Structure 1
């Protein structure tokens, strides 16, 4: 099985190198790993008290951020090494002030894992949510490095729990402690003999709460509503935009809309605005007066979505017609009702919010139209769902403190 695993990793690297000739993200993945181990060695030379945190991408980093920052606050004697697998994490957070050293993770080859752990010599290692790399975990286990994973969810259909999944179960034995989000995950791990498990919940609740309390004021957006109700559509994809823009174009009501697409490349932004039949304006470069006069504000940059929700009355979260919805909690923490498409079942918080009456899912345009009309026209329903959203986030906070209290 190790041979198959090694071949699959090498095949993945080969495919990414080929893709790098025509895919910008693949090129970043490749370029970011040139001379990587030598660069890491030079950067951390002479450092002794290093703790390693690893995140797959940006979303997982934001999930782990409360633990990183609380750990640093409680243990200033350590320096933080933060690694990313994906360019979408590294390129956005490579200047994150909460870590002392930030790198890409070298591919999980045996030689890479050995050299990386030799260089960093971590006193502890933390994996955020989903990253399971055989050779890195093996090196950490062999050297008796305390190793943790947190905010994890396990499902019965994963390879860990299959009769033929012994190789993957072996990875889990490298963890000193596993902090999971729910009882089902704990039960699954117990069923394969792992007892070093705690239900700590999801650290994202701590993160979104801190986002809400520290969200920045966007002066350009302050006057956008002009006293009218505002829909914030975050992390949208083309199918989401098709339905939303249909509603925007055909609605006779006096509402305003902010669209913050998941991808903000120029061609995508141009495609969005080409469909809008009401006065619109792009966020970057627009004067405050232009924004206030528009009915649709199109966000054409990254890094502002979490601060936009404070200006909304109803929210829409994209991704529900693709691989899965994006972050609902950023909207929930601001006390907004939430609407999203049908692919939400892998996200416990989405199912919880629906059960509470804070969120609704839809499949057809007519369903979306009815949901939006109902929220816009029924203040009591809007307030009810919004309060349920905010109370849900508030009730789930505290995972970061619980994790660090056990370590």
Structure 2
């Protein structure tokens, strides 16, 4: 099966490269550092032992931040390597850690690329965030006695059924992992059903609850708000193609009740900044782009936040936060950051990437779900603008959920230390 999988990967390689080129046309950073995607990475100059953490993109990098800081503190003589798959993930690594860690792109799951990567980096262990089950990578690490931890692992019932169709191969891949730290007991049960050893699988909670935001954020936000005046501010965060049109139509309805509305739009992908700003202008709105570094005056109706790494700064400037990727079948994004800043949160109906977290927030009245249309979204925003008490109660409920669900990073660190690093 491994040979067949590898053959299929080689056959798919031209299409993978075409997709990379297509993404590069929209986001030029995808054209950079191609050799790393095939395992051509510079050999390390340092001889200190290397701990490797793989985080696919921005969300996983954010979730791994407390873990990485904990590893740096507990193992000061080790070098840390973080691999990502996306340029935005790479940029986030640089923003958070600078030169305190190394970064390269994880190569494609091709035997020759994996061999080059492991030979150049030679990690003493690896931590793979979420459920990145790349067979050649996992089995090569097992052959080279590089223990891997699957951290913050989740496995939906649908994915588990898919793996069951290739049960022998799936079991071979999963049993190559000496430690699997799942988000929930249900995830743990699904990994066990696929053949994982019970002593290797632990339900520790969700690392995404481990939010550590600077205390100065609220002070910075207050300073920004003071320049805007006493306006109703709504942020639409991590939006995708097809959502901005709905949001702008909803904003038009909101303005009929709250004419001083300032809408902040933060597109998820940098290559869409120009298009979103153009769309706002076509709606006849007075638009300011954050990158212009101009004052946001009373005439400004929409600010497009077209800078990287500033979403957490703008969340606390808003009264209401809408989480993008949920008005279309993309699956939503993480609502924990605005919740950690005490914001009232709105989500669309499509949040299947964050089902457990979102449904917990909905059940505890810490979030509001709307339909995928402008009228429903406008109604929810207006209701929250009109009810400061409800906004405050939603913010407090969200903070309480986060407080009750923290601690996964420490539990994971203890497991890694007990099962892998100290044994090594």
Secondary structure in 2 matching 1:111: helix
Kept after mapping to 2: 8 A contact 1:235/1:262: yes
Within 1, Cα distance between the matches of 2:46 and 2:38? 15
Equivalent residue number for residue 419 of structure 2: none
Kept after mapping to 2: 8 A contact 1:333/1:390: yes
Q: Give the deviation of 1:215 after TM superposition.
A: 3.5
Aligned residues: 403
Secondary structure in 1 matching 2:41: helix
Equivalent residue number for residue 324 of structure 2: 318
Secondary structure in 2 matching 1:353: helix
- What is the RMSD computed on CA atoms of the aligned residues? 2.5
Kept after mapping to 2: 8 A contact 1:291/1:297: no
Moved more, 189-198 or 70-79: 189-198
Alpha-carbon distance change, 99 to 54 in structure 1, aligned in 2, over 3 angstroms:
farther
Alpha-carbon distance change, 9 to 299 in structure 1, aligned in 2, over 3 angstroms:
same
Q: Give the deviation of 1:153 after TM superposition.
A: 0.8
Deviations, residues 74-119 of structure 1 (Å, cap 9, x unaligned):
1101101221223332244356337532111222222222332233
- TM-score, normalising length: structure 1: 0.90
Within 2, Cα distance between the matches of 1:298 and 1:41? 38
Equivalent residue for 1:232, pick from 210, 230, 235: 235
Equivalent residue for 1:374, pick from 359, 370, 383: 383
Moved more, 26-35 or 235-244: 26-35
Alpha-carbon distance change, 8 to 271 in structure 1, aligned in 2, over 3 angstroms:
farther
Equivalent runs, 1:295-374 vs 2, <5 Å: 295-320=301-326, 321-347=328-354, 348-363=356-371, 364-374=373-383
Alpha-carbon distance change, 380 to 222 in structure 1, aligned in 2, over 3 angstroms:
closer
Higher helix share: 2
Equivalent residue number for residue 76 of structure 1: 76
Kept after mapping to 2: 8 A contact 1:19/1:27: no
Equivalent residue number for residue 268 of structure 1: 275
Within 2, Cα distance between the matches of 1:279 and 1:140? 55
**1:184 equivalent in alignment to 2:186:** yes
Q: Give the deviation of 1:120 after TM superposition.
A: 2.2
Q: Give the deviation of 1:182 after TM superposition.
A: 0.7
Equivalent residue for 2:252, pick from 246, 249, 253: 249
Kept after mapping to 2: 8 A contact 1:345/1:351: no
Equivalent residue number for residue 106 of structure 1: 107
Within 2, Cα distance between the matches of 1:218 and 1:357? 25
Kept after mapping to 1: 8 A contact 2:147/2:177: yes
Within 1, Cα distance between the matches of 2:401 and 2:36? 46
Consecutive unaligned residues in structure 2, runs of 5 or more:
417-424
Equivalent runs, 1:82-161 vs 2, <5 Å: 82-94=82-94, 96-97=97-98, 99-159=100-160, 161=163
Alpha-carbon distance change, 87 to 282 in structure 1, aligned in 2, over 3 angstroms:
closer
Deviations, residues 15-39 of structure 1 (Å, cap 9, x unaligned):
2323455541687556413277786
Alpha-carbon distance change, 395 to 282 in structure 1, aligned in 2, over 3 angstroms:
same
- TM-score, normalising length: structure 2: 0.87
Deviations, residues 107-152 of structure 1 (Å, cap 9, x unaligned):
2222222332233221111101121121221122123322101111
Deviations, residues 137-190 of structure 1 (Å, cap 9, x unaligned):
112212332210111111122156514332123211121111111111011122
Equivalent residue number for residue 422 of structure 2: none
Moved more, 358-367 or 395-404: 358-367
